[in-house]
Amino acid sequence: MSAVPAPARGSLGPWLLLAPLMVFLAVFFVVPLAQVAVMSVSDPEWGLGHYAEIATDGFHLRVLADTFFTALVVSFCCLLLGFPLAYAMAAASPGWAAVMMVVVTMSFWTSFLVRTYAWMVLLGTRGPIARVVEWLGFATPELLFTRFSSTVAMTHILLPYMVLSLYGVLKRIEPSLPRSAASLGATPSSVIRHVVLPLAAPGIVNGLTLVFVLCLGFYVTPILLGSPREQMVAGVIGQQVEEFLAFGEASAMAVVLLASTLVVLGLYHRRFGLDRLWG
Amino acid sequence: MRLALILLGAVVLAFVATPLLIVVPMSFSTAVSLEFPPPGWWTGYYAAYFGDARWTKPTLNSLGIAAAVAVLTVALVTPATFAVVRHRFVGKGLVNLALMLPLAVPHIVMAIGYYAFLADIQLLQTFPGIILAHTALSVPMAFLVLSANLKGFDRGLERAALSLGASPARTFLHVTLPVLWPGFAAAALFAFVQSFDETVVALFISGRDTETLPRKMFDSIRTTADPVIAVVSTLLFFAVAVLVIVPVLWRAASRRRLEPRP
Amino acid sequence: MTKPYLELQGLSKSYDGRTRALDGVDLTAAKGEFITFLGPSGSGKTTTLMLIAGFEAASAGEILVDGAPITHVPPHKRGIGIVFQNYALFPHRTALGNVMFPLEMRKVPKTQAVEKARAMLALVGLERLAERHPREMSGGQQQRVALARALVFDPALLLLDEPLGALDKNLREQLQIEIKRIQRSLGVTTIFVTHDQSEAMAMSDRIVVFKGGRIQQAGTPLEIYNRPVNDFVARFVGDSNLLPLLLTDPTAGIGEIAGIGPVRVPAQPGRKAGEAATLLLRPEGLGLAGEGAINTCRMQVETVVHYGDSALLVGHAGQTALRARLPGLVAQGITSNMEIVLSWNPASAHLMPAVMRDGFQNS
């Protein structure tokens, strides 16, 4: 019920309130985005040449495939690592849960750059892991600038998204549900398999989708500590602009990247409705 | 199985926490390149950071830009949030979707778009250009935060105010705004942090004079792995720590203080 | 009748143009009266309150306060004090700040406002808590602050929307007495909405029973209890036996109830022999039959519930279901499966229109 009687249907009120933001977004979001699409078919000359190249050229296809594959790997690593942590947080006493939440939240808010730098230290040849390996008698490991270092760092950076998504659903499970399952004869692992996991499924799907989409477009981390020979899409796009000023080519790749992202989100929306993703 | 999950969870927590903590000792290291544990300790790099305009200028730039972005974002988002949460109209679902769209677009895509667009309107490498781009990118999160707050707002308070003689305008001023301010603050904070940390777009649209801190850091890490990066990282880490821990402590303290007394 | 202070004339409200949440409500109230709107959820009692408050617009009808129509006056100009179900106290203001709010809106000078507010808080017994914020107060205290806030500006009317629903029984009863006392001392015309019939009985000068968007009956608590106009009102307020009766001799006041036989009822001179009716007999109206008692019936007791001060006997006489409430001392020896003889005084029963076989009623 409204404080003042609700305005009649079709009134101007809401549109006037929305206008500033919509106009702003139209100019400062839609136009630049449209320009990317236009450039993909107009630079240096009109035509679908760039897209043809992407579809046939082995290099581009490999980059796309690598990116997708990496995103999948990162998503599932986040799930495998994130679920135990979210579960522990949901099961812990309020004091411990708060501590864990603080750690996760701090990771969430800490800039990608800072965390990427931290991994450069950790995985570097003079870093703690290398030292331990050397101390154990093995050769100094070259962990940086590989697909591995990039994947590990991205997993770490995107993990909070997964954990928070899972924690949300796990926390909402009524404590009486696992308890009644137990009273009906379910062992603790059965309870997890048959009660907790199905109820957590929406959070799992949410987390996977979110992490996958974010990983597809990841720029900073793969460039700073990934392998220069196995780049991800975003890095390639950036390189084409920065080094070669190849706007057309870069835009075409950007459009393909955006399309992939939208397809994934579209599939999610079809099945679940996008408003669920933001909770 | 339950115990195994919880133990594993603790291990993962260590995985999450360690990289965060490692930057702090690095900032006091005497090493010239990445080396851990540090060979020696000093605060030299802190002095280097605070004394070097090549670091302090981008820091100030980023602070100023982020503040402007926060204000502009909240100003644009507030009326829109009220429209979406409190009114029924045709196309509301689409509007909701449209407002969330910037979140779905990878920043690298927007980066090239902004590069071309801002160049066309002569705002490339200028502060206004960066502010406008960052605002567009901050809108979805600010909208989400504010609308969540607005949805949880008790309309009964507004009705009570009306019944007590406050006109709709005075109700908004004396009741709605004061009660809603944490939502505004949260939206502004999200926008501020988004802008302050934003790297990809800034790489393409900021210039030498308008360099942002993330851009400086990125270039630094890429070229020289300048140890000052550890200093910046530590400072940022503590800023985040304050941001996260203070509200938690505040809430715990107020809960203890405000229990109903007889 | 003194000039009505509040008048509702043909008030109707429809949200979707088809179903009527409120269907032609007519009501008058005198100044200083305490009226309770009683009814189940969806009966229209809260809708009527919202219309009087101005938060909903009427589809038809008029609302007059002290002779002046307020139907189209916006809510912030009506000068009506409202206590909401969830109190709606402003969380960012202290108790004193809340109570001062309406005075601030009316541009009362600060010192005067503070004085009036403090006096009102003292009236509700909360002068000590003036500097506390709502979240530092218990439910009962918040409720009293809400009351003080609604009364401090001398409103024309006081509306209370199920204000005591969230409180436990003892607190509720305490506050019922408080509210009544304050209302009496200030003489403000009050409308109290509740679904709790014992609350309505305890507090009201008059009760208005709502059902399906219409007023079923308006009267004093005793009128509603002893002479309900239909079976809905009879069942809604208090426990009841609704016994189908055939008027065999209306002028002499004799009727026939299945399973019980001929009974004496109040004389019905205007009616014809053979007409059907319903006899309302409250369970406490039945007692153990003494020597030479009239209106006797044999009751097969199925269940006995001993409350200590009284006992409820549930059973039947023939095929007619029956409930009787006897004083505790009298009912001590009675157990289930016993057959007892009960009787009642014809004057304590009430004749109502017949309830049709399918449960609907002519009224």
Q: Is the pLDDT of residue C146 over 80?
A: yes
- Per the structure block, which two tokens stand in for A153? 């760092």
Instruction: Give the pLDDT score at C119.
Output: 95
Tell me how far CA of residue A42 lies from CA of A253, B116, B121, in angstroms: 14, 13, 19
Whether residue A5 has a cis bond before it, omega within 30° of 0: no
pLDDT level of residue A142 (50, 70, 90 thresholds): confident
Q: Residues with Cβ < 8 Å from B250, sequence gap 6 or more?
A: none
Between A132 and C205, the more confident residue is C205
- Per the structure block, which two tokens stand in for A275? 């408003």
Contact B260 C53 (CB under 8 A): no
Judged by a CB distance cut-off of 8 A, whether residue A109 touches chain B is: yes
> What SS3 state is found at B151?
helix
Say what the alpha-carbon torsion angle C42, C45, C48, C50 is, to the nearest 10 degrees. -80
Q: What amino acid is encoded at A59 in this protein?
A: F
Return the half-sphere exposure (C-beta side, CA atoms, 13 A cut-off) of residue C16. 2
Instruction: Give the pLDDT score at A10.
Output: 54
Architecture of domain A59-276: Orthogonal Bundle (1.10)
Instruction: Give the pLDDT score at A7.
Output: 45
* Minimum Cα–Cα distance from C50: chain A residue: A1
Chain B neighbours (≥3 Cβ pairs under 8 A) are: A, C
Chain B residues closer than 8 Å to C82 by CB = 159-160, 163
Q: Residues with Cβ < 8 Å from B6, sequence gap 6 or more?
A: A84, A87, A88, A91, A92
Helices first, then strands: H and E counts in chain C: 8, 20
Q: What digits encode the pLDDT tens for the residues C285-324?
A: 999 988 888 888 899 999 999 999 999 999 998 888 999 9
Chain B residues closer than 8 Å to C94 by CB = none
Contact between residue A44 and residue B148 where contact means Cβ atoms under 8 Å apart:
no
Question: Lowest-confidence range among A60-74, A109-123, A263-277, B240-254?
Answer: A263-277
Is the ipTM reported for this complex over the cut 0.95? Answer: no
Q: Is the pLDDT of residue B164 over 90?
A: yes
Instruction: Give the pLDDT score at C151.
Output: 95
Chain B residues closer than 8 Å to A89 by CB = 9
Say what the alpha-carbon torsion angle A50, A51, A56, A61 is, to the nearest 10 degrees. 100
Q: What digits encode the pLDDT tens for the residues C84-110?
A: 988 889 988 999 999 999 999 999 999
Q: Is the pLDDT of residue B255 over 80?
A: no
Whether residue A44 has a cis bond before it, omega within 30° of 0: yes
- Per the structure block, which two tokens stand in for A78? 């986040």
pLDDT level of residue B94 (50, 70, 90 thresholds): confident
Q: Is the pLDDT of residue B257 over 80?
A: no
Q: What is the C-alpha separation between A86 and A165, in angstroms, rounded? A: 9
Contact between residue A42 and residue A251 where contact means Cβ atoms under 8 Å apart:
no
Task: Please classify residue C172 by burial: count the beta carbons closer than 10 Å to its beta carbon, then call 0-12 exposed, 13-18 middle and 19+ buried.
Answer: middle
The interaxial angle of helices A197-216 and A58-91, nearest 10 deg, is 140
Contact B100 A278 (CB under 8 A): yes
Q: Is the pLDDT of residue B258 over 80?
A: no
What are φ and ψ of residue C332, in 5° steps? -55, -40
Q: What amino acid is encoded at C348 in this protein?
A: S
**Optimal mutation site among A1, A16, A24, interface B, most CBs of chain B within 10 A:** A24
Between C253 and B129, the more confident residue is B129
Q: Is the pLDDT of residue C356 over 70?
A: no
Q: Is the pLDDT of residue A5 over 90?
A: no
Q: What is the C-alpha separation between A249 and A240, in angstroms, rounded? A: 7
Average of per-residue pLDDT across B105-118: 93
Q: Is the pLDDT of residue C363 over 50?
A: no
Secondary structure (DSSP) of A82-128: HHHHHHHHHHS-HHHHHHHHHHHHHHHHS-HHHHHHHHHHHHSTTSH
Average of per-residue pLDDT across B65-79: 95
Instruction: Give the pLDDT score at B261.
Output: 54
Q: What is the C-alpha separation between B192 and B184, in angstroms, rounded? A: 12
Looking at chain B, the whole-number percentage of residues with pLDDT higher than 70 is 97
How close A11 comes to chain C (CA, Å)? 18
Q: Is the pLDDT of residue B226 over 90?
A: no
Q: How many CB atoms lie within 10 A of CB A252?
A: 27
pLDDT level of residue C123 (50, 70, 90 thresholds): very high
Q: What digits encode the pLDDT tens for the residues B142-155?
A: 999 999 899 889 88
Whose tokens are 């690592």? That residue is A81
> What SS3 state is found at A203?
helix
pLDDT level of residue A275 (50, 70, 90 thresholds): low
Contact between residue C188 and residue C151 where contact means Cβ atoms under 8 Å apart:
yes
B63-78: burial string, b at 16+ Cβ within 10 Å, e else: eebbbbbbebbbebbb
Q: Is the pLDDT of residue C338 over 80?
A: yes
Judged by a CB distance cut-off of 8 A, whether residue A8 touches chain C is: no
Q: What is the C-alpha separation between C263 and C272, in angstroms, rounded? A: 17
Contact between residue C277 and residue C236 where contact means Cβ atoms under 8 Å apart:
no
Between C131 and B2, the more confident residue is C131
Out of B17, B31, B107, closest to residue A219 by CB: B107
Contact between residue B134 and residue B198 where contact means Cβ atoms under 8 Å apart:
yes
Judged by a CB distance cut-off of 8 A, whether residue A152 touches chain B is: no
Q: What is the C-alpha separation between B28 and B45, in angstroms, rounded? A: 7
C318 sits in the region (left: phi over 0; alpha: psi -120 to 50; else beta) called: left
Q: What is the C-alpha separation between B3 and B45, in angstroms, rounded? A: 44
Contact B161 C90 (CB under 8 A): yes
Q: What amino acid is encoded at C339 in this protein?
A: E
pLDDT level of residue A277 (50, 70, 90 thresholds): low
Contact between residue C64 and residue C70 where contact means Cβ atoms under 8 Å apart:
yes
- Per the structure block, which two tokens stand in for C43? 């009966």
Instruction: Give the pLDDT score at B246.
Output: 86
Judged by a CB distance cut-off of 8 A, whether residue C55 touches chain A is: yes
Residues C343, C347, C353: CA angle, nearest 5 degrees: 100
Chain A residues closer than 8 Å to C47 by CB = none
Instruction: Give the pLDDT score at A30.
Output: 94
Q: What amino acid is encoded at C218 in this protein?
A: A
Question: Lowest-confidence range among A6-15, A201-210, C297-306, C330-339?
Answer: A6-15
Q: Is the pLDDT of residue C156 over 80?
A: yes
Q: What is the C-alpha separation between A9 and C16, in angstroms, rounded? A: 13
**E strand residue ranges, B68-222:** none
Contact between residue C106 and residue C153 where contact means Cβ atoms under 8 Å apart:
yes
Contact B111 A238 (CB under 8 A): yes
Rg of chain A in Å (alpha carbons): 23
Domains with residue ranges and CATH for chain B: 50-230 (1.10.3720.10)
How close B243 comes to chain A (CA, Å)? 9
> What SS3 state is found at C334?
coil
How close C228 comes to chain A (CA, Å)? 35
Instruction: Give the pLDDT score at A278.
Output: 55
Average of per-residue pLDDT across C123-148: 93
Domain boundaries, chain A: 59-276
Instruction: Give the pLDDT score at B127.
Output: 93
| C214, containing H or E segment | strand C214-219
Q: Residues with Cβ < 8 Å from C164, sequence gap 6 or more?
A: C143, C171, C172, C175, C176, C194, C199
Judged by a CB distance cut-off of 8 A, whether residue B180 touches chain C is: no
Judged by a CB distance cut-off of 8 A, whether residue C74 touches chain A is: yes
Residues C173, B260, B258: CA angle, nearest 5 degrees: 155
Tell me how far CA of residue C61 lies from CA of A2, A118, C253, in angstroms: 22, 73, 42
Judged by a CB distance cut-off of 8 A, whether residue B166 touches chain C is: yes
Q: pTM of the predicted model, to two decimals?
A: 0.80
Judged by a CB distance cut-off of 8 A, whether residue A217 touches chain B is: yes
Q: What strands lie across the sheet with C320-327, from one edge to the other?
A: C287-288, C339-343, C296-306, C310-317, C320-327
What are φ and ψ of residue A183, in 5° steps? -65, -25
Between B41 and A83, the more confident residue is A83
Contact between residue A36 and residue B112 where contact means Cβ atoms under 8 Å apart:
yes
pLDDT level of residue B259 (50, 70, 90 thresholds): low
Q: Is the pLDDT of residue A3 over 60?
A: no
Q: What is the C-alpha separation between C341 and C286, in angstroms, rounded? A: 10
Q: Residues with Cβ < 8 Å from A103, sequence gap 6 or more?
A: B13, B16, B17, B20
DSSP A231: -
How close A26 comes to chain B (CA, Å)? 10
Average of per-residue pLDDT across B94-109: 88
Judged by a CB distance cut-off of 8 A, whether residue A16 touches chain C is: no
